[in-house]
Amino acid sequence: MSEFDLIKRHFTRPAPSALLGVGDDAALLQVSQGEVLAVSSDMLVCGTHFFADADPFLLGHKALAVNLSDLAAMGATPRWATLAIALPGADEAWLEQFSAGFFALANQYGVDLVGGDTTRGPLNLCVTIFGEVAATQALRRSGAMPGDEIWVSGQLGDAALALAHLQGRLVLSASDFAACSVALHQPQPRVALGLALRGIASSAIDISDGLMGDLGHILDASGVGARVNFNELPVSATLRKFLDQPLGKQCVLSGGDDYELCFTAPVSGHQDVLNIAAQLGLPLTCIGNIVDGQGCIVFDAANHPINFESAGYDHFR
């Protein structure tokens, strides 16, 4: 199969939201009136972000999901994506599953794949996502104010717990692993939440490298500090079993791959946030407050500061 047959078969679908999609030298995209483009890229590298034998359908899902998560964190509506892919060979069965996973999620969010690049090389997936948002409504990292409440969506640490099991750093029962591995392999981007938080949240970020690291980015960008209550952090029943162990704490505070949103909102917006949680059927938990100063202090039930490895995952450390 030639490169062009491969692209045609596996990556060319109707793109009704583009003036021109796959097949020319560039796609042509029209942004809605009054909105600006929100653009983000995320790369998944075999051996770094996933194992070589990873399920291709789930990989297709995740390659797009992690990008949708970035747009969710901006409060943007996802519209288009491009896919740059390096493949060790043209494995038809693998490509079929990968593109099925990718397009299943793309269809769910009305995202059209409008271009990309295909080359031979070590397996590597890079998606660029394009969305729309009114410039004044975009959720930036820089808007947190002292007194604001800090919220997170969903539950934290399950993906890191599943990864710890796969890496042999702890042993989960089959049912516990099944429960956690969904978070690792099939993260659900919080796009509807990001859209609902426009005009309510003062700042937002998606948690891809662990709560402490990513909340830290909000604090740095906003020039503020935070107090977080460890006991308020939302965790699954499975993770709760490991919370008294250092590894369990680490999964919640600095495990990666959560793809939940962390955001701040003034206290006056507390009920609005709870209403959004009810509307979306998605738990939103207040975990602490923004304060003057810098850095984040995490308190245990007895109100003593907890020592933890503060930084998120960093590829170059």
Q: What is the closest distance, in whole angstroms, from the C-beta atom of residue 122 to ligand ADP in the complex?
A: 16
Question: In the complex with Mg ion, which residue's Cβ is closer, 25 or 244?
Answer: 25
Q: What is the closest distance, in whole angstroms, from the C-beta atom of residue 132 to ligand ADP in the complex?
A: 20
Backbone angles phi, psi at 178, to 5 degrees: -60, -40
Contact flag: residue 3 with Mg ion (CB under 5 A) = no
Which residue, among 113, 138, 139, 141, has the nearest Cα to 127 in the 3D structure?
Answer: 113
Number of residues that bind ligand ADP (CB under 6 A): 13
What torsion do the CA atoms of 130, 276, 105, 312 make, to the nearest 10 degrees?
70
Partner from ligand ADP, Mg ion, none contacting 85, C-beta within 5 to 8 A by type: ligand ADP
| Distance (Å, whole) CA 62 – CA 68 | 10
Question: In the complex with ligand ADP, which residue's Cβ is closer, 7 or 193?
Answer: 7
Looking at residues 112 to 131 of the shown chain, list those that interact with ligand ADP (rule: CB under 6 A): 113, 115-118
Among 73, 74, 83, 200, binds ligand ADP (CB under 6 A): 83
Helix, strand, coil in percent for the chain, rounding step 5: 40, 25, 35
Partner from Mg ion, ligand ADP, none contacting 68, C-beta within 5 to 8 A by type: none
Q: Using an 8 Å Cβ cutoff, are 185 and 62 in contact?
A: yes
Q: What is the closest distance, in whole angstroms, from the C-beta atom of residue 24 to ligand ADP in the complex?
A: 5
Q: What is the closest distance, in whole angstroms, from the C-beta atom of residue 184 to ligand ADP in the complex?
A: 24
Contact flag: residue 117 with Mg ion (CB under 5 A) = yes
| Distance (Å, whole) CA 148 – CA 267 | 6
Binding positions for ligand ADP, rule: CB under 6 A: 7, 11, 22-25, 83, 85, 113, 115-118
